[in-house]
A and B are shown apart, each in its own frame.
Chain A
Amino acid sequence: MSDCHDCGIAKTAPALGVVPPPKATVQRLVAIVGPPNSGKSTLFNRLTGLRQKVANFPGVTVEHHLGKAHLPGHHDVDLIDLPGVYSLQPRSEDERVTFDVLNGKKAGLRAPDAVVVVLDSTNLSRHLPLVASILSLRLPTFVVLNMADDLRQRGGSVDVESLANELGVPVALISANTGEGVSSVLRFLTGGIAIPKPVELPVLNDLPACRQWARRVSDESGYNRPAPPVWTRRLDGIFLHPVWGPLVFLLVVGAVFQTIFTGARPLMEAVQAGIGNSGQWLRGVMPDNVLRSLLIDGIWSGVGAVIVFLPQILLLFLFIAVLEDSGYLARAALIADRTMARAGLQGKSFIPLLSAYACAVPAIMATRTIESKRDRIATILVAPFMTCSARLPVYTLIIAAFVPDKPFIGPFVYTRAAAMMGLYVLGFAAAVFTARVLKSSILKSERTPFVLEMPAYRMPTWNSIGLRLLDRTKAFLKRAGTVILGVSVILWVLCSVPMVDGHAPPIEQSLAGTLGRTIEPLIKPLGFNWKIGIGLITSLAAREVIVGTLGTIYGMEPDRDAAGLQAALHRDLTFGGALALLVFFAFSMQCMSTLAVVRRETGGWKWPAIQFTYMGVMAYICSFVVNRIWG
């Protein structure tokens, strides 16, 4: 670390015990710690790139991210991204996890060899006290002052060299967003790391004393507070305006849905054409036997029908990522807080519920930050009502088949996008209603306070958004390759037996058909026939499986026509039945992964059973009513 003047890293005097770089067999483990919103994850993503995985240690309360930093000419370094904390006083569960990991008390994980503390350089007085707690651990430490670009732009400055002297550890000013100074972090990760020099630390559980210490340290190191973020205030003047605020909110949401519908179409059509053509080609080159039927009629039409929706799901995630990274999501949470309060839920429930728009599984894990057990269970129970991305293929398929595309709200939002928005609102309303019922009956408790930090607005970077989209693609394809593939194969078998003269029977006479017709009396009142019934059974595994299932069923039909799923669906559903099917999918709990995670998080089958039954009954009754009215 001698030639680093250009990258803002400061040297420290020769330290006490210099730890030599680790031996080839043991990889160094470095923990990344920092307050919320300091850019830990951005740095983590920069350092690890694609070499990361989401790890979920059994029995702990928060998700960690593990990854590897790869440096040419060095051994990889294992990195662990810890939840954001302001101190190491283990009060809440997040803090306990961070505390345990740093102290080597976490089961299944050894103590880290070094710590990288990431602070927001634009707000040192609030973020420095954490360094005092970390230094008291006596682990090799590197202090990273992030958001150097923001600091400079807003006229702030800090003398890195004197701060390093004050803290007794190396300090670097970086910008994880632009990549500035990140090389200094890499050098720390691979170089000889030193135990911090002893410096005077405040009494750690005396907050005012910690603040005074932080103030003294930042004064000594010539810290110049940056000017307030002018643009953030200007933007908040609009986004939190009593009239414009909600209007912008609705406009943003409307634009998102419209784009999801129309913007993804060309890509989806291309994917569909690719799958269709390759299927035709395979049909031509393969001999007419059972294998060809399994591959094309079972797998190709089943898995293919779901894969078509990948562009749409990615577009949804692109929007979520942009809203999240820009800082707008915190404002949306603020606007929505009154509604949450009316439902008896606290502000902390909002973030899990928002992430449930992507998937209920991480949302349910995110409820671990809620201290009140009753609030936590209430949030877990309502999270699956939020419209997760697995519902998107189902909704799109049915809406595209049954709702004509006409301008609806002005020339911008069309009826299909509006219908989709309506379904999202329906899910949210069901969640709020259920929370209200739960919180005024079996899960009654005192209201818990709401505290939400408003981060400064920031330009999202392609780097971080790209990584997340890639992650999503992997997760989606993995699901297509496991659950959906598995169900497609089983379904193909069920559709192919009992064989008639060595050929698959007419689908009504197959085992799958028999199953569907067995439950038909039960679902007839909802406007569904036996084919939809088969889809309802298979989609118990995961919601989007019904799309694959219908793909397989229609694929097995001899009079399959080229217009595809939508046209085929038109023969089997009335308008009322289609609406009922949408409502059924909005409310019912068709997701094994969610049930499994609820069982794990609540420690038993009681709550998942209640949830499954409640959601199922609600779905049945509402679909029945809808089919009655419009059927």
Chain B
Amino acid sequence: MQLSVKDGAAGLSARTLADLRDNEEAMLDHIELPSDFALRLMELGFLPGHAVAAAHTAPGGDPRVFRVDGGEIALRRETARHIFLRKH
């Protein structure tokens, strides 16, 4: 919430969930995944403008647990790469 919100076009260098460091928090921007799956993620709280933080990682580094909207959701890296974050 404390981060500023900008609606700038996401460039190629846009960060994704996969780039989050441990315990780092960021703001979600958009999801580039098939709509059925994107909707499911949105139902779980991955909504534009919502805060997300990286939490525990499974032994071996993948999948990873993300804290979003009061819940903890595990995603694989291959999915996290398609969930984009807002620039600071």
Contact = CB atoms under 8 A, between A and B. Distances in A.
A347 B77 CA distance: 13
A122 B76 CA distance: 26
Q: Which of B57, B74, B79 has the most CB of A within 10 A?
A: B74
A334 B58 contact: yes
B43 interface: yes
Nearest to A37: B71
Nearest to B74: A452
Interface string A233-257: 1001100111101100000000000
B36 interface: yes
A383 to B, nearest CB: 22
A86 B40 CA distance: 9
Nearest to A212: B47
B43 A87 contact: yes
B75 interface: yes
B62 interface: yes
A292 interface: no
Contacts of B76: 337, 341, 347, 449-450
B65 A334 contact: yes
Nearest to A450: B76
A449 B45 CA distance: 17
A207 B74 contact: no
A213 to B, nearest CB: 13
A450 B79 contact: yes
Nearest to A89: B39
Given A335-B58, A335-B59, A225 B70 contact: yes
Contacts, number: 103
A237 B41 contact: no
A338 B70 contact: no
A334 B73 CA distance: 10
B56 interface: yes
B72 interface: yes
Nearest to B69: A126
Interface string B54-68: 011111101101010
A449 B33 contact: yes
A243 B57 CA distance: 12
B58 A338 contact: yes
A87 B40 CA distance: 10
Given A208-B48, A241-B59, A338-B60, A123 B71 contact: yes
A453 B67 CA distance: 10
A277 to B, nearest CB: 51
Nearest to A130: B43
A450 B39 contact: no
A92 B39 CA distance: 11
Interface in B15-60: 33, 36-37, 39-45, 47-48, 55-60
A128 B44 CA distance: 12
Contacts of B33: 449
B7 interface: no
Nearest to B68: A126
A454 B72 contact: yes
Given A240-B56, A341-B76, A450-B63, A126 B44 contact: yes
Given A207-B43, A451-B41, A126 B71 contact: yes
Contacts of B63: 334, 337, 347, 450, 452
A473 B39 CA distance: 41
A452 B66 CA distance: 10
Contact of A451 (B59, B60, B75): B75
Contacts of A453: 44, 71-74
B47 A207 contact: yes
A208 B56 contact: no
Nearest to A239: B56
Given A126-B45, A450-B76, A207 B39 contact: yes
A237 B72 CA distance: 14
Interface in A240-291: 240-243, 245-246
Nearest to A371: B36
A86 to B, nearest CB: 4
Contact of A125 (B39, B67, B69, B74): B69
A224 to B, nearest CB: 12
B25 to A, nearest CB: 13
Interface in A69-126: 86-87, 89, 91-92, 122-123, 125-126
28 contacts: A87-B43, A91-B40, A122-B70, A126-B43, A126-B69, A211-B47, A228-B67, A228-B70, A233-B55, A236-B65, A240-B56, A240-B57, A240-B59, A242-B59, A242-B60, A245-B58, A245-B59, A337-B74, A338-B58, A371-B36, A447-B78, A449-B76, A449-B78, A450-B76, A451-B40, A451-B44, A451-B79, A454-B65
Interface of A: 86-87, 89, 91-92, 122-123, 125-126, 129, 207-208, 211, 225, 228, 232-233, 236-237, 240-243, 245-246, 334-335, 337-338, 341, 347, 371, 447, 449-454
